[in-house]
Amino acid sequence: MTAPLLELRGLRKSYGALVVTDGVDLDVAPGEIHALIGPNGAGKTTLISLVAGEVMADAGRILLKGADVTRLGVHRRAKAGLARSFQITSVLPTFSAQENVVLALQGAGGPSFRLLPAPRSERGRAEEARALLRRVGLDAKAAHPAAALSHGEKRALELAMALAGRPRLLLLDEPMAGTGPEEARAMVSLIAAAREACGILLVEHDMDAVFQLADRVSVLVAGRIIASGAPAAVRADPAVRAAYLGEEGP
């Protein structure tokens, strides 16, 4: 059996008396899309932030490829193969699509102490940036400022930037947020293709997208996982239907 790419064991986070992550156990296998769903306020974004290293856990462990990264910061987790996208797009609006991806590639390569970059490395990054833009369907928009892109195109650009670091694990926080039906369908296709390169932990409210993409679904309610398994089994679970999907039972 293949070892998990990501393992969360007894993960806990509280703010004063408010417990937002309550002993969460969860794993993601290599090449798997594991969707995390739940009502607003369930603690999904906090959990993603704990995995990314933006928030430190009070208790429990986070393992990436078997290595304990629980106390590592964001940059060291990124070096270990973790990348994240956000609910709100984080592209630089005045930079072109290609420049945004080049900056992501530079960040993935670590800090440079050159006053002037080597021309060969700059050409290589530009070519790699174009390849990533081609991969997400933005090759024709490479020279366009990010501000001129549609919302769905910005989400695709953010995905290209996240993939620039060649992550082992990709954390996607509501990638469909604000997209129209056509843009959402395009994003589903891009995420499905991205699984060839890495495992994905997906937080998403669009249930059609979740059940199209996910190999497994976990349901978070009040900081606790109440169900986890194949999408069809989770959809049919009476506790999930009552707590989240808005139904009282069969």
Each of the 250 residues of the chain gets a pLDDT tens digit; together they read: 578 999 999 999 999 999 999 999 999 999 999 999 998 889 999 999 999 999 999 999 999 999 999 999 999 999 899 998 865 567 899 999 999 999 999 887 644 434 445 554 677 889 999 999 999 999 999 999 999 999 999 999 999 999 998 999 999 999 998 888 999 999 999 999 999 889 999 999 899 999 999 999 999 999 999 999 999 999 899 888 887 655 544 3
Q: Which two tokens stand for residue 70?
A: 């629980």
The last residue of a domain, from among 133, 166, 199? 166
Q: How many domains does the chain have?
A: 2
φ/ψ of residue 119, rounded to 5? -55, -40
Domain edge (last residue) among 166, 195, 212 = 166
Domain range for 159 is: 90-166
Last residue of a domain, one of 166, 183, 218: 166
Regarding whether 96 and 64 lie in a shared domain, the answer is no
Residues 154 and 173 in one domain: no
SS3 87: coil
Q: Are residues 62 and 174 in the same domain?
A: yes
Structure tokens given for 74: 């964001």
Nearest to 243, CA basis, from 44, 74, 42: 42
Q: What is the CATH number of the domain that holds 213?
A: 3.40.50.300
CB 31 within 8 A of CB 203: no
Please name the helix (run of DSSP H) or strand (run of DSSP E) that holds residue 77, with its range, or none. helix 74-79
pTM value is: 0.88
Same domain, 162 and 174: no
